[in-house]
């Protein structure tokens, strides 16, 4: 395994890297372009953005600069973006996709996600994503912030099963029931806020494991995600942290360490609850 290791999705031809760079709350323009460029140069091959992050132009700029410096082609990268809630519905979704692609300056995305399960609208939005996939305009399609019941509703009318479900997941929100369900449906779980947005660095359990393995808490937590079957998209704009978050392949957690991290679960969210959001 290394930073470029991938897994196969349940549909689509391209496999997806286990580790990607997140760019939520990263300013459009030079800040996001420089982070994306740096990540690609360091070996990252997956970038996760969204229309609502309002930085797709800068991400596109970073992709072009990164490809040039790393000497790689577009085919070697895996780019994800997401449909914003205000754009849900069949026709709006088709238009929103083209706008994201245009802002990124790409021909197409490798993965397009429904960002949140907007009640009453997401089945229609999904039909549009299926259309984009069938026309070969997007590599794979998936969802984000879907609970089990949202996926059950979606599958009642879906022709294509989502390739992934990207949800909040970290040691304080382990999401084991959701994960078991996703695995059974052949939907890959992906963790957002894998580092709890920076809120777990002084947890004694994690600090102790980090010290015993000679790694940082961030590396321990990211490795825990990978060893428990979750893909991750940690965010950082700092060069040394972008490097640190990809340096995960010279150690393993043992079963006791994995269990100790699972025990930290408090069903605690740092982001909105997918059953009670109003945006
Ligand atoms: P995260 O858990 O990745 O935490 C990011 C923060 O942790 C950084 O701002 C930085 O302060 C800190 N950090 C990162 N690496 C560190 C290190 N090695 N050492 C010390 N501190 C470090 O949180 P996130 O950005 O919210 O989530 C990751 C990505 O997931 C986002 O950037 C975005 O792409 C995606 N996301 C998706 C959704 C969704 O609804 N689908 C929601 C939020 C985020």
CATH code: domain of residue 49: 3.20.20.100
Residues 14, 163 contacting (CB under 8 angstroms): no
Residues 156, 129 contacting (CB under 8 angstroms): no
Percent of the chain scored above 90 by pLDDT?
100
Report the pLDDT value the prediction gives residue 124, as an integer from 0 to 100. Answer: 98
Percent of the chain scored above 70 by pLDDT?
100
Helix (H) or strand (E) holding 140: strand 138-144
121-145 pLDDT, tens per residue?
Answer: 999 999 999 999 999 999 999 999 9
53 is catalytic: yes
Choose, from 53, 112, 181, 249, the residue flagged as catalytic.
53
Expressed as residue numbers, the domain containing 149 is: 15-198+229-236
Instruction: Specify if 8 maps to a domain.
Output: no
68-117 pLDDT, tens per residue?
Answer: 999 999 999 999 999 999 999 999 999 999 999 999 999 999 999 999 99
Instruction: Specify if 177 maps to a domain.
Output: yes
Q: Is 80 in the pocket of ligand 1 (CB under 6 A)?
A: no
Instruction: Specify if 218 maps to a domain.
Output: no
36, 48, 206, 236: residue to mutate for ligand 1 pocket, most atoms within 8 A of CB: 236
Q: What is the overall mean pLDDT for the chain?
A: 98
168-182 pLDDT, tens per residue?
Answer: 999 999 999 999 999
Report the pLDDT value the prediction gives residue 25, as an integer from 0 to 100. Answer: 98
Report the pLDDT value the prediction gives residue 106, as an integer from 0 to 100. Answer: 98
Instruction: Specify if 267 maps to a domain.
Output: no
Instruction: Specify if 176 maps to a domain.
Output: yes
3-class DSSP state of 272? coil
Arithmetic mean of pLDDT, 187-209: 98
Q: Is 22 in the pocket of ligand 1 (CB under 6 A)?
A: yes
Q: Distance, CA 72 to ligand 1 centroid (Å)? A: 26
CA-closest candidate to residue 205, choices 184, 221, 189, 192: 221
Q: Is 198 in the pocket of ligand 1 (CB under 6 A)?
A: yes
Report the pLDDT value the prediction gives residue 179, as an integer from 0 to 100. Answer: 98
User: In angstroms, rounded to a whole number, what is the distance separating the alpha carbons of residues 245 and 42?
Assistant: 11
Instruction: Specify if 275 maps to a domain.
Output: no
Domain count, the chain: 1
Sorting pLDDT into bands at 50, 70 and 90, what band is 28? very high
Report the pLDDT value the prediction gives residue 84, as an integer from 0 to 100. Answer: 98
Q: Is 233 in the pocket of ligand 1 (CB under 6 A)?
A: yes
Instruction: Specify if 220 maps to a domain.
Output: no
Report the pLDDT value the prediction gives residue 216, as an integer from 0 to 100. Answer: 98
Instruction: Specify if 55 maps to a domain.
Output: yes
Report the pLDDT value the prediction gives residue 164, as an integer from 0 to 100. Answer: 98
24, 117, 171: residue to mutate for ligand 1 pocket, most atoms within 8 A of CB: 24
Closest residue by CA, ligand 1 atom 4: 197
Q: Is 241 in the pocket of ligand 1 (CB under 6 A)?
A: yes
Arithmetic mean of pLDDT, 35-52: 98
């Amino acid at each position: 395994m290394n930073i470029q290791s991938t897994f196969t999705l349940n549909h689509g031809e391209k496999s997806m890297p286990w580790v990607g760079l997140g760019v939520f709350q990263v300013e459009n323009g030079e800040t996001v372009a420089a982070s994306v460029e740096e990540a690609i140069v360091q070996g990252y091959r997956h970038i996760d953005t969204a229309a609502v992050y309002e930085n797709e132009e800068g991400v596109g700029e970073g992709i072009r600069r990164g490809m040039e410096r790393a000497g790689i082609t577009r085919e070697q990268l895996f780019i994800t973006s997401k449909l914003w809630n205000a754009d849900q519905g069949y026709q709006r979704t088709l238009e929103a996709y083209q706008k994201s692609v245009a802002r990124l300056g790409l021909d197409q995305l490798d993965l397009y996600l429904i960002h949140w399960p907007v009640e009453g609208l997401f089945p229609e939005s999904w039909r549009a994503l299926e259309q984009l996939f069938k026309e070969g305009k997007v590599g794979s399609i998936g969802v984000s912030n879907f609970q089990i019941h949202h996926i059950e509703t979606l599958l009642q009318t879906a022709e294509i099963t989502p390739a992934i479900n990207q949800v909040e997941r970290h040691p304080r929100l382990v999401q084991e029931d959701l994960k078991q369900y996703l695995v059974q449906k052949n939907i890959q779980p992906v963790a957002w806020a894998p580092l709890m947005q920076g809120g777990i660095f002084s947890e004694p359990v994690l600090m102790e494991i980090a010290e015993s393995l000679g790694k940082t808490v961030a590396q321990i937590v990211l490795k825990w995600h990978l060893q428990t079957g979750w893909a991750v998209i940690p965010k950082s704009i700092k060069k040394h942290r972008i490097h640190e978050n990809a340096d995960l392949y010279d150690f393993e957690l043992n079963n006791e360490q994995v269990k100790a991290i699972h025990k930290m679960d408090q069903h605690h969210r740092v982001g909105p609850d997918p059953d009670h959001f109003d945006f």
